[in-house]
Structure 1
Amino acid sequence: MKIEQIYTGCLAQGAYYITSNGEAAIIDPLRETEPYMERLEKDGVKLKYIFETHFHADFVSGHLDLSKKTGAKIVYGPNAKPEFEFISAKDNQEFTIGTIKIKVLHTPGHTMESTTYLLIDENGKDHAIFSGDTLFIGDVGRPDLAQKVAHMTQEELAAVLFHSLRDKVMTLADDVIVYPAHGAGSACGKNMSKETVSTIGEQKATNYALRANMTETEFVQEVTEGLLPPPAYFGMNVAMNKTGIESFEEVFNNGMRGINAIEFESVVEKTGALILDTRDNSDFAKGYVPQSINIGINGDFAPWVGSLIADVKQPIVLVTEIGFEEETVTRLSRVGFDNLLGHLKYGFQAWKQSGYEVDSINRITAEKFEKEVKIGESKVIDVRKKSEYEAEHVNEAYSRPLASINEWIKDINPKEHFYMHCAGGYRSMMAASILQARGYRNFSEIEGGFGAISKTNIPKTDFVCQSKVLK
């Protein structure tokens, strides 16, 4: 028996590849199937089942392409009703892979079809669970995403989750390994650990939602407290996972089409495409194709694309660092942004050398900010998360999280200058690009963000540990 966790950092997502005696199973696969196909061929095994823990909201699964290429059956737990051929598993049903078994534990609450898969080894011993979004390391799945479909409140779903955990998961032996679908950075929970593997015993001892003697009322209150609004693309990804999608290869080929500088402008005008520039924020600040939105590939790229662009059907053309076209297209496809029309051939330099108009961002250093800012008079906007802001911020700064920019942008006075920063420059450059695309140019964005500001003598609030803030 072999279990491999295939962890994708940009999505904080774990897929699982399991083999036993010539057969294999894959749990919660990402959209691009090639890595799985390579593993199957290398190991000389046949993929028998593709297990889905639930209809994923934060990424598009590769279940359909993988099934078509291998003939493997797609398995969902009770209550799932996708629009394609699948096995509707019953609670406690067992599936055999080689000399091991996968047992279905229906654990609704995050969604009503949410299922945990228990791996029973060749000796008949409970070995591990693949908990999907039911149980994370340090947290449990948020209960607010499936409210409309389930016709239930988040409190009602949380109560269902409480019983799923206590009746199905916590009754397992303490040495059973826990393999979750996500880790820290995912929007599917609020307090996930950076660790991606644990045990039932460790979680009973350390996970706030699994503590002994916790009442249902306490669980519901604590699990629903402090939930941020889910990214707008979540519902669209759920629909794609239920109904079926274009093949990854088709999306990939469209995105990899090179468009020269002359055609580029015409394509944008004819299609209304959004120009997505994925270069580093320091390069973007110096020069970019006008109206571009910057979301750097070297960061939490896919989640931010989903949060800021939202509509997965939006036509998109890309500007990337040369050599990063393939990675960018792949990452976009993972979150369902399939309407890719191509990328600027030879990158931004080609645009610049063609003599077309170039825009830039007014980026200043923290040292210059220190010389210019007048606390109490100058307007400073902090686009970090609320918890980061509450931990420590520039005196008199306004908290305006990037995730809610579409709400606060309308309150900006275009005639009043302001300074803007995040933690290190990644998020503030996204905000800057959005602001300028919408006609706001009355700001200075601060290079290095609060990390650089903290090294200056600019007055700041007293630091408070973020973990305490979150509590």
Structure 2
Amino acid sequence: MPLPSSSTPAVQIQQFYDKGLAHASYAVRAGRQMAVIDPGRDPQPYYDFADEHDAEIVAVLETHPHADFVSSHLEIAQETGATIYCSKLTEARYPHKSFDDGDRLKLGTVELHALNTPGHSPDSISILLLDDLAQTRAVFTGDTLFVGDVGRPDLREAEAVGGHTREALAAQLYRSLRQKLMALPPTTKVYPAHGPGSLCGKTTSPDLDSTIGKELATNYALQPQSEPEFIAALLADQPFVPKYFGHDVQLNKQGAPSFEDSVRSVPRLGGGAALAPGVLVVDARPAAQFRAGHLPGALNLQDGGKFETWLGAVVGPQEPFYLLADTQIQLDAVLRKTAKIGYEGNIKGALLAPTPLPATSPATDVAAVRAHPAQFTIVDVRNRSEAAKKLFDHALLIPLPGLRERVGEIPTDKPVLVHCAGGYRSAAGASIIEAGLPGVAVYDLGEAVEEFVER
């Protein structure tokens, strides 16, 4: 959704924020020319903004090949004739112009300048905005600098995405911050590609923009420290890496097909359609409806604020699945969210919940859990950093992203009780265990977990 814009007499900056992916993209308009920076998969908001201001999209700039969402840079270029700009280090496989240190792009009466700022990825750039008086007004930092945080350096270690060690990238980030971004005027506005909840950082502020001066004063990563100290602090307690991240890096280097065409190409199935055996069913209905009736072996991944992230965390990028929802509106919504991470091609069919739904899940007796927790095998599906604060003694910690692969580690001599921090992940976890351990009673503590948290 578009957020309030920032403007000077010569230029207007409009931020578009996708809360589900914690992703911020930007339109920079100078007169009747417009550039788009780090666009999301759906290009329509940028077209609408250009139409509203009678502007022509002449440039699309990518700060790096994103891991957590699919960009519409190629689609926008094909639709509008705009030129795509990115670092030559990206080795992009779509038509583009290199945009590296010293390169400039004229946009109306202002200019955009490239800064190579490797660290989050080896091909990361930041983009300076200079006004008509050649004064630095803003910097679009991609995943290099966030509000209160910096980009994580551990997403390019697999050979498929470069085989760069996290330590080497962290050292590059240390130098990029100090030699490039921290040297900018303190009044320079900072516009990052992500906000709170992004898995591209770890302590991101709820604020969606900042200034260099504010970050110098408050951002832990910009405080005086040696390079080894910075690397140690940065690498500590990074969140998990979803399965889809490497897939999206490669897709963004290639350029994704049309968003709407891709969504329309997903097969729609009638309620009585036969589903292929052995293919995963992702059921996006609320947990209560899922427990009351579902298809055997289905995964309950509820539609919500982070549906696409959890889909890409639990389901592999090459794994086919059926997508099931309760209403046509919900089905369309989760289809579009699936496409935002480039998984629409994995869907063998999208369908509304059929009848009958023969499998059910037992209700949890919370009082019994409180009185006799030792009568359950308790599985904690939170992340390791969260689990440092235990809710139950002797709980088995298996974070949700790896649960499907590790379900065989769970003892089956007692009923299984699954919990997380708020109920969303435990619903998914309980459905995974139920499918993986047939015949074992599996209970979801759900939102009742809050009763077990020390206040």
Given the two structures, how large is their TM-score scaled by the length of structure 1? 0.89
2:24 is the counterpart of 1:14: yes
2:397 is the counterpart of 1:364: no
2:8 is aligned to: none
Unaligned runs of 5+ in 2: 1-10
Structure 1 contact 78–106 (Cα < 8 Å) conserved? no
Q: CA deviation at 1:313?
A: 5.1
Q: CA deviation at 1:228?
A: 3.8
Q: CA deviation at 1:245?
A: 3.0
2: CA distance, partners of 1:16 / 1:84: 21
- Residues 129-144 of structure 1 aligned to structure 2 (within 5 Å): 129-144=139-154
Aligned residues: 441
2: CA distance, partners of 1:196 / 1:336: 25
Runs of 4+ in 1 over 6 A off after TM superposition: none
Identical-residue share of aligned pairs (%): 32
1: CA distance, partners of 2:413 / 2:425: 23
Structure 2 contact 23–193 (Cα < 8 Å) conserved? yes
Query: Structure 1 residues 325, 406: CA separation in 2 closer, same or farther (over 3 Å shift)?
Result: closer
1:158 is aligned to: 170
- Given candidates 267, 277, 284, the residue that maps to 1:278 is 284
Aligned residue identity for 2:362: N
Question: Secondary structure at 2:146's aligned position in 1?
Answer: coil
2: CA distance, partners of 1:211 / 1:374: 45
Structure 2 contact 284–323 (Cα < 8 Å) conserved? no
Q: CA deviation at 1:143?
A: 1.1
Q: CA deviation at 1:392?
A: 4.6
Unaligned runs of 5+ in 1: 455-461, 464-471
- Given candidates 67, 76, 84, the residue that maps to 2:77 is 67
2:97 is the counterpart of 1:98: no
Aligned residue identity for 1:450: V
Q: CA deviation at 1:326?
A: 1.9
CA RMSD of aligned residues (A): 1.9
- Given candidates 300, 308, 329, the residue that maps to 1:302 is 308
1:342 is aligned to: 349
Residue range with higher mean Cα deviation, 237-246 or 164-173: 237-246
1:167 is aligned to: 179
Query: Structure 1 residues 43, 367: CA separation in 2 closer, same or farther (over 3 Å shift)?
Result: farther
Q: CA deviation at 1:7?
A: 0.6
1:457 is aligned to: none
1:400 is aligned to: 398
2:59 is the counterpart of 1:49: yes
Aligned residue identity for 2:377: K
Q: CA deviation at 1:368?
A: 4.3
Structure 2 contact 70–341 (Cα < 8 Å) conserved? yes
Structure 2 contact 71–256 (Cα < 8 Å) conserved? no
- Residues 260-275 of structure 1 aligned to structure 2 (within 5 Å): 260-263=270-273, 266-269=274-277, 273-275=279-281
2: CA distance, partners of 1:408 / 1:207: 37
2:385 is aligned to: 387
Aligned residue identity for 1:448: E
Q: CA deviation at 1:396?
A: 3.5
- Given candidates 192, 216, 233, the residue that maps to 2:227 is 216
Question: Secondary structure at 2:251's aligned position in 1?
Answer: helix
Question: Secondary structure at 1:386's aligned position in 2?
Answer: coil
2: CA distance, partners of 1:42 / 1:166: 39
Structure 1 contact 136–180 (Cα < 8 Å) conserved? yes
Which whole-Å deviations, capped at 9, do the CAs of 1:277-316 have from their partners, x for residues lacking one? 1112222222112222111111311111001002245243
Question: Secondary structure at 2:70's aligned position in 1?
Answer: coil
Aligned residue identity for 1:49: A
Q: CA deviation at 1:259?
A: 1.5
1:180 is aligned to: 192
2: CA distance, partners of 1:153 / 1:259: 44
1:5 is aligned to: 15
Aligned residue identity for 1:359: A
- Residues 189-268 of structure 1 aligned to structure 2 (within 5 Å): 189-212=201-224, 214-255=225-266, 257-263=267-273, 266-268=274-276
Q: CA deviation at 1:2?
A: 1.3
Which whole-Å deviations, capped at 9, do the CAs of 1:161-208 have from their partners, x for residues lacking one? 111110100000111111111122111112212221111111111111
Aligned residue identity for 1:11: L
Q: CA deviation at 1:249?
A: 2.1
1: CA distance, partners of 2:119 / 2:132: 31
1: CA distance, partners of 2:294 / 2:340: 26
Which whole-Å deviations, capped at 9, do the CAs of 1:354-393 have from their partners, x for residues lacking one? xx3421222315334324x244x54322222223222351
Query: Structure 1 residues 397, 150: CA separation in 2 closer, same or farther (over 3 Å shift)?
Result: closer
Question: Secondary structure at 1:101's aligned position in 2?
Answer: strand
Structure 1 contact 28–51 (Cα < 8 Å) conserved? yes
Structure 2 contact 433–442 (Cα < 8 Å) conserved? no
Query: Structure 1 residues 326, 357: CA separation in 2 closer, same or farther (over 3 Å shift)?
Result: closer
Question: Secondary structure at 2:329's aligned position in 1?
Answer: coil
Structure 1 contact 89–104 (Cα < 8 Å) conserved? yes
Structure 1 contact 276–292 (Cα < 8 Å) conserved? yes
1: CA distance, partners of 2:12 / 2:423: 42
Given the two structures, how large is their TM-score scaled by the length of structure 2? 0.92
Query: Structure 1 residues 323, 174: CA separation in 2 closer, same or farther (over 3 Å shift)?
Result: same
Aligned residue identity for 1:44: D
Aligned residue identity for 1:90: D
Q: CA deviation at 1:341?
A: 3.5
Question: Secondary structure at 1:117's aligned position in 2?
Answer: strand
1: CA distance, partners of 2:357 / 2:99: 58
2: CA distance, partners of 1:230 / 1:327: 24
